[in-house]
Structure 1
Amino acid sequence: MVSTRAVPNLAFRRLRGSRSAGEFAAAIRRAAREIGEHVACDARYIGRVESGEIRCPNYAYERVFLHMFPGASLVDLGFSARESVRGRGARTGATTAVPLSPALHSDIDEESDVLRRVFMTSGTTTVAAASLGLGGPSAAAGPTAVPAQRRVGEAEVSAVEKAVRQIRLLDDRHGADGLYRRASQPLRAAYALLDAGTASRRSTADRLHSGAGELAISVGWLAHDSGRFDDARSHYAEALATARLAGDAALEAHAFCNASFLARDTGRAREAVRAAEAGQRVAAPLGSPRLLALLALREAGGRAWLGDRTGCERAIGRARTAFERGECAGDPEWMTFFREAELEMLEAQCWSALGDWPRAARHARAATRLQDPHFTRNLALYRAQLTGDLARAGAADQAATAGHQVLDLLDRVQSSRIRGMLESAVRVLRPRGGAEVVAFLERYEELPSGPEPVPSAG
């Protein structure tokens, strides 16, 4: 067996010299700006390189490093040659490849290599089952461990699929903040199963790849919703790489959908549009109008942030036309959240981004009326959107009323995204008078401090 033990990159460490990891990261970011690149380099990334966890940088980092150290090669900088760490080609004949945006493509190159090595285990593999400590009456029992085996069967694949459903259920009820770290355990287990051996049947192998990819997206969403954007980007990239390796168009469309959402939330509107368009091309043969509707709305969101009102309206129109075709057997299981309430919410976010606050508020109010009360997190999310839209539309008292309704749910929902949206609305309401507004602001100030809120994108 070939060892996967990381070898420290001493050459790169010597290049840092007496600078701290943070200072060196800042120098790398400055060098990137000099050549028009954007890299999210921080001390953690420097540590990963120096420890040998990153054997070869992605293409954006490569350009920056070669700009900083003219005449040097990647090998001179202590990295492995790119061809030595890229051994996994996509299965041919499975799906038509859709071009990735450069940023997404480079993330997949790096993260699919790094994460697979991280997920390798020896001795035992922790199976993602209901007792993984994610909640419920069996949580106290702790994780279930089974011997690593050369063949993966129905029990292991079912456990991965069950973990996906459980994470989604708990997120619907409680939000992401308290779940992310614990949900990483079944994700590691799922990829350990992929690496540990061969499935007993082709159908089992396909389900395992799909399950692991969906789990990566679910954990990525928990990172996304709790403000851990770099982690979310890595998980979505891993899901996209898994989809490409397995030839799974449905998983690929899902990964593009979430990647588009993340790009919009992190200010990369053009990338959001490109990812959504790529997702629509992949999803077109899958026979799910609802999936196409959601991807069109992701495109609309990106176009709204670009200020492209005409393009946004066209994408919304396509989304509504597809949505009205109704549910069908081809709809993915993960889309159970995408009902009329979510359609209204996503349209509200588009008008909000375009600065049409009254129109945004009308759609946000419709979303709160239509939402199933069992989806507690989304109910809080929609009301937070409504609070912000009403505040910006000048309806301060109505905004305060909606804000009270959000606060009523925050003892059950832990979501940095929702807290960020509420904080944004509060900033708008502070200069306003009125007893309703004052009462809401006083109650808001009594909120226990939580994680750093995610900046609102809506």
Structure 2
Amino acid sequence: MTSSTVTSSQPDRPPRPNLAFRRLRGQRSPAEFAALVRRAAREIGERVSCDARYIGRVEAGEIRCPNYAYERVFLHMFPGRTLTDLGFASRSSVRGRAARPDAAAPRGPAAGEGSGEPPGAVEPYDLRDHWQNDPLNHEESDVLRRAFMTGGGATVAAATLAPLGLAPSATAADRLPPRAGVPEAMALEEAVRRIRLLDDRHGADGLYRRAAAPLRAAYALLDAGATRQTTADRLHSGAGELAISVGWLAHDSGRFDDARSHYAEALATARMTGDAGLEAHAFCNTAFLARDAGRPREAVRAAQAAQRAARPLGSSRLLSLLALREAGGWAGLADRTGCERALVRAQALFGRGRADADPEWMSFYGEAELAGLEAQCWSALGDWRRASRQARRAAQAQDPHFTRNIALYTAELADDLAREGRPDEAAEAGLRVLALLDQVQSSRIQSMLAGTARVLLPHRRASGVAEFLDRHAAYKGPHPVGAGGTV
């Protein structure tokens, strides 16, 4: 990696904060309010990938007018109000005048410069809105729609990333602007959000190789340089987060060496720019990978390094997750005392609640993940009863949006029950996981299920076990890559 070259330019015209929307959030944290938005979307059959960062962008005025899907959700949440009442500009006043962070991004000045409009005046369309409501791009919308309806996770990933100008292409680098500006930074951040959303729903196996090309494009942007220092910082942060996201896809699909390389790249980016949040995130994932790769002492050290980086950031939830990463390492070392101490610390920090300082990428971390990671610790220590209790709690508490995690926690439950000596319940849980594998592609989950099947083989006569074993044997999904066994 090389650092960005920053040249002087006229500063961006600052957006006007959306104070009306901020008042509507009240005392809730951005993450809590984002959860309410997602819940309201489900109530009316919409799907939006709202998170704390999105709420922050709205309140900062970066999104002057939401896309149609978000508009429907917001008007459902606040009946009787208009977009203007919510602090947004009318659609007619901004439609078509803002930069679109797609493959047709300007080659010269950053979008919005010279147009009289601030960058990011209109929110980039989510997939469904882009397909249904963008009359300016019928051909691209039709391609996206067909890809989603006929393709698997990898096809969806390609279609999702293509409009951002970060899609796989042999000539992608040739299309990059001579200097990266706000549209490129926005495209990079949107790529991270979309990859995370697709992973939540479909798992990593079909996404990994497709997501590697946007990462290469991101570092090509850094090499090209940025129009101003703030944009350079934003690009470095986005590239680091994208490296972690791609590393996680490699990690979850069993490509441990690739994951380690991507996490190291993110860590180097963080160290180069002094980004403590990115450093904590990179060490967090490195600890998780070390545990899964059978290097528990490294997992402990990486988790402790992550906690040192994270302490000044003011996020108790982040420190809670990092304590869980440390607990996982102690469990791998069969150090029950060390594990229990870290678990107690994780639970106490979690109990302090959410805060504005919580990182965007932690939107997955709630009661379900806390219970799921604790279940994995007890499983590693051979305490199957505690493990199964926590795994059941995790599966029941998980937000339906996180399909992959529901499958993961249920697979953990099946394995713990099988080893606890409850084969009928284990088979029932295993069948639920098999039912989800049409939607989720994860080598980790497939490996866990294969381990459960091996444990249940001597119990074929127990209720439901034969059905599970037969259906598991008939499953034709992708073969697990990398290390097997439970995690």
Is the structural similarity TM-score above 0.5?
A: yes
Which of 280, 283, 305 is matched with 2:310 structurally? Answer: 283
Contact 1:344 1:366 in 2 (8 A): yes
How far, CA to CA, are the matches of 2:334 and 2:269 in structure 1? 34
- 2:217 maps to 189
Contact 1:264 1:457 in 2 (8 A): no
Amino acid at match of 1:456: G
Amino acid at match of 1:451: H
Cα displacement string for residues 121-156 of structure 1 (whole angstroms, at most 9, x for unaligned residues): xxx9xxx99889654866777956574444221000
Q: 1:5-44, aligned counterparts within 5 Å?
A: none
Q: Aligned pair 1:243/2:278, yes or no?
A: no
How far, CA to CA, are the matches of 2:294 and 2:356 in structure 1? 35
Cα displacement string for residues 151-210 of structure 1 (whole angstroms, at most 9, x for unaligned residues): 22100000000000000000000000000010011100000000112x222221111100
Instruction: Return closer, same or farther for 1:260/1:335 CA change in 2, 3 Å cut-off.
Output: same
Which of 161, 178, 185 is matched with 2:189 structurally? Answer: 161
How far, CA to CA, are the matches of 2:162 and 2:313 in structure 1? 41
- 2:381 maps to 354
Q: Aligned pair 1:371/2:398, yes or no?
A: yes
- 1:455 maps to 484
Q: Return the offset for 1:436.
A: 1.0
Amino acid at match of 1:162: E
- 2:88 maps to none
- 1:438 maps to 466
How far, CA to CA, are the matches of 1:273 and 1:427 in structure 2? 30
Contact 2:444 2:480 in 1 (8 A): no
Instruction: Return closer, same or farther for 1:148/1:437 CA change in 2, 3 Å cut-off.
Output: closer
- 1:389 maps to 416
Contact 1:364 1:385 in 2 (8 A): yes
RMSD: 2.3
Q: 1:122-201, aligned counterparts within 5 Å?
A: 134-135=156-157, 143=165, 147-197=175-225, 199-201=226-228
How far, CA to CA, are the matches of 1:134 and 1:254 in structure 2? 26
Q: 1:50-89, aligned counterparts within 5 Å?
A: none
Contact 2:164 2:191 in 1 (8 A): no
SS at match of 2:475: coil
Contact 1:256 1:275 in 2 (8 A): yes
Contact 1:134 1:183 in 2 (8 A): no
Amino acid at match of 1:250: G
Contact 1:341 1:368 in 2 (8 A): yes
Contact 2:203 2:442 in 1 (8 A): yes
How far, CA to CA, are the matches of 2:427 and 2:342 in structure 1? 32
Instruction: Return closer, same or farther for 1:138/1:231 CA change in 2, 3 Å cut-off.
Output: closer
How far, CA to CA, are the matches of 1:147 and 1:178 in structure 2? 26
Instruction: Return closer, same or farther for 1:374/1:149 CA change in 2, 3 Å cut-off.
Output: closer
Cα displacement string for residues 201-240 of structure 1 (whole angstroms, at most 9, x for unaligned residues): 2221111100000000000000000011110000000000
SS at match of 1:328: coil
How far, CA to CA, are the matches of 1:137 and 1:269 in structure 2? 38
Contact 2:157 2:207 in 1 (8 A): no
How far, CA to CA, are the matches of 1:301 and 1:139 in structure 2? 34
Moved more, 144-153 or 442-451: 144-153
Structure 2: segments with no counterpart, 5+ residues: 1-106, 108-123, 128-139, 145-154, 167-171
TM-score (ref. length: structure 1): 0.69
- 1:260 maps to 287
Instruction: Return closer, same or farther for 1:138/1:391 CA change in 2, 3 Å cut-off.
Output: closer
Cα displacement string for residues 217-274 of structure 1 (whole angstroms, at most 9, x for unaligned residues): 0000000000111100000000000000010000000000000000000000000000
- 2:445 maps to 418
How far, CA to CA, are the matches of 1:269 and 1:235 in structure 2? 20
- 2:235 maps to 208
How far, CA to CA, are the matches of 2:237 and 2:213 in structure 1? 17
Amino acid at match of 1:455: G
Identity of aligned residues (%): 65
How far, CA to CA, are the matches of 1:188 and 1:255 in structure 2? 18
SS at match of 2:464: helix
How far, CA to CA, are the matches of 1:367 and 1:142 in structure 2? 35
Q: Aligned pair 1:330/2:362, yes or no?
A: no
Contact 2:161 2:191 in 1 (8 A): no
Contact 1:264 1:302 in 2 (8 A): yes
SS at match of 1:171: helix
Q: Aligned pair 1:312/2:327, yes or no?
A: no
Structure 1: segments with no counterpart, 5+ residues: 1-123
TM-score (ref. length: structure 2): 0.65
How far, CA to CA, are the matches of 1:250 and 1:280 in structure 2? 10
SS at match of 2:217: helix
How far, CA to CA, are the matches of 2:235 and 2:164 in structure 1? 23
Contact 1:217 1:235 in 2 (8 A): yes
Amino acid at match of 2:373: L
Q: Aligned pair 1:223/2:250, yes or no?
A: yes
Q: Return the offset for 1:435.
A: 3.3
- 1:401 maps to 428
Moved more, 172-181 or 437-446: 437-446
Q: Return the offset for 1:450.
A: 1.4
SS at match of 1:435: coil
